[in-house]
Amino acid sequence: MITAIIQARVGSKRFPNKIFADISGKPLIFHVINRLKKSNKIENIVVATTLNPLDNAIETWANQNKVNCFRGDEDNVLSRFYFAAKEYKAKIIVRITADDPFKDYRIIDKVISILISKNLSFAYNNNPPSFPEGLDTEVFTFNALEKAFRESTDSFEKEHVTQYFYRNPSLFLQKNISNDKNLSHLRWTIDTEKDLEMVKKIYEKLYYENNVFLTEDILRLISNHPEIATINQNVQRSSMYKNI
C-alpha cells in the first residue's frame, strides 16, 4: 500500500490554526488532500495529527470529510508516522506537510516511481533543493521508517521524520531528484500571513471547483504578475534545510 501521510496540527507557533485557513472558500487541508487525490500512485491518504485536545478539530474535520485520521505524539513526529503507517499497513510512505497548497501529483508520482524502480529506501527532491519550497516530496519504505524509529535518539530527527535518513546515507539507499531548472528561490508554502496572502492571490486566479492547477500554471501566472511572487519573498526558508 502506497500511503500519503499528512502531518497536521493546529498549534503552530508562528501561524496557529493555519490548516483551516480559508482559501477560495475551502480550508487549506482540503486543498492539500484534493491535490493528492489526483495521484496515480497513492492508494491511501491519512491525516496524522496529535493527541493534543486542540487537534480534536482535525479529527472531527477528517471524520466529516471521510478522510482517514491517526493521532499520535505531538513532538515525536517520527513515532507518529511509524504508528500511523503501521496501523494503515503502509509499505511505501509519502510524507506530506499540511501547509503546502501547491503540491504537484506528477512530481510525487515521479519520486514514487524512482523509489520503486531503483529499489531505494528513500527518494526525495529537496537535498539539494531545486523545486519551489512547498513542492518538496519525500518517499520512503516502511522498513526504512521502522529502522529510523527504532534507532534514532536525536530530538531534531524525531521532530522532522526524515532527518535520520539524510544523516545516515550509508544505511539507506537513497536518491535526490532534481528539477530541470533551479526554482528553489520560490516560496510556495504557508508559514506566515504573507505566505497565505500570496497563496490566496494565486488561488483567486487559477482555482475553480474540480480543477487542480499545476506547477506550470503557477509559473506562468507569476511570470505575468511578478508582484505576486514578491509578497512573501522575504520570509526565511525552513531551518530544516540548514540541518540536512
Kindly report the number of other CB atoms within 10 A of residue 212's CB atom: 17
Distance CA 12, CA 158 (A): 17
**How far out from the chain centre does Cα 182 lie?**
19
pLDDT at site 239: 56
Domain that holds residue 86: 2-242
Distance CA 218, CA 177 (A): 21
Distance CA 158, CA 164 (A): 8
pLDDT at site 234: 79
pLDDT at site 78: 97
pLDDT at site 15: 82
We report the CATH number of the domain holding residue 112 as 3.90.550.10
Cell 536518491 appears where? 175
Cell numbers at 86, concatenated: 503501521
* Residue pLDDT tens, the chain, 244 long: 999 999 999 987 778 899 999 999 999 999 999 999 999 999 999 999 999 999 999 999 999 999 999 999 999 999 999 999 999 999 999 999 999 999 999 999 999 999 999 999 999 999 999 999 999 999 999 999 999 999 999 999 999 999 999 999 999 999 999 999 999 999 999 999 999 999 999 999 999 887 899 999 999 999 999 999 899 887 876 555 444 4
Cell numbers at 99, concatenated: 501547509
Torsion of CA 48, 53, 57, 61, to 10 degrees: 40
Query: Which parts of 65-133 fold into alpha helices (H)?
Result: 77-87, 105-117
Total tally of structural domains belonging to the chain? 1
